[in-house]
Amino acid sequence: MTDHTPDTPLVQEPRRWQNEQWTAQVIKNDDDDGWAVAMYKDGASEPALVGPWTMGRDKKNPKPLDGSAFITLVKTASEFVRRSEQQLHATLHQSVTVNGLSGRVTVCLDIVPDEDSPYATLSAQDELGEALAEVKVDAGFKLSRQSAQAWVDAEFARPGSGRR
């Protein structure tokens, strides 16, 4: 019985390498006569990353995958996924700090990207982290220093409604 660690390849073929977290698949590049490598995470149906792949010596077939190439591809794809997740988080969770009547107020916008009815929650906290207000807003609400300051100045009335 083989002891598989996350870095131990489960499949080692010229055009396909796999460990318990990633699969590298060399594919024909649809855009030209070359080759590409697609990196799939955890058996996902869509690749997390697709990049160019080197031609072999015959200038017709792809260079075979090997251990060092696979390790590099896993590191690259993992970093790409991590950055994409960070970017998505930053898009869905925003905050700015503005001046309120009794001190600094942090205004947060948390977007819920529901496929059927996306929405967002606009909330405010004082300097001690105490909740001051929370309202449901359109998912397209744009949080900026100006919009946050206007909400605080309007004593947390629902933006665009003139009411709380």
Condensed to tens digits (0 to 9), the pLDDT of residues 88-140 reads 999 999 999 999 988 999 999 999 988 899 999 999 999 999 999 999 999 99
% of the chain surpassing 90 pLDDT: 73
Edge-first strand order for the sheet with 35-41 is: 11-13, 16-18, 22-28, 35-41, 49-53
Task: For residues 33 and 58, state if they share a domain.
Answer: yes
Last residue of a domain, one of 72, 91, 110: 91
HSE-up of residue 108 (Cα within 13 Å, Cβ side): 18
* pLDDT band at residue 33 using 50, 70 and 90 as cut-offs: confident
Give CA–CA dist 138/158, Å, rounded: 11
Task: For residues 82 and 108, state if they share a domain.
Answer: no
54 inside domain: yes
Task: For residues 62 and 121, state if they share a domain.
Answer: no
Give CA–CA dist 147/113, Å, rounded: 21
Task: For residues 74 and 108, state if they share a domain.
Answer: no
**Owning domain of residue 47:** 11-91
Task: For residues 110 and 77, state if they share a domain.
Answer: no
Task: For residues 85 and 124, state if they share a domain.
Answer: no
Mean pLDDT score of the chain:
89
Task: For residues 121 and 76, state if they share a domain.
Answer: no
161 inside domain: no
Per-residue pLDDT tens over the stretch 70-91: 999 999 999 999 999 999 999 9
Number of domains composing the chain: 2
Task: For residues 22 and 56, state if they share a domain.
Answer: yes
108 inside domain: yes
159 inside domain: no
Task: For residues 20 and 82, state if they share a domain.
Answer: yes
Give yes or no for a contact between 48 and 40, defined as CB atoms under 8 angstroms apart.
yes
Task: For residues 58 and 85, state if they share a domain.
Answer: yes
* pTM greater than 0.85 (yes/no): no
Last residue of a domain, one of 73, 91, 109: 91
Sign of the alpha-carbon torsion through 49, 52, 58, 59: positive
Give CA–CA dist 89/38, Å, rounded: 25
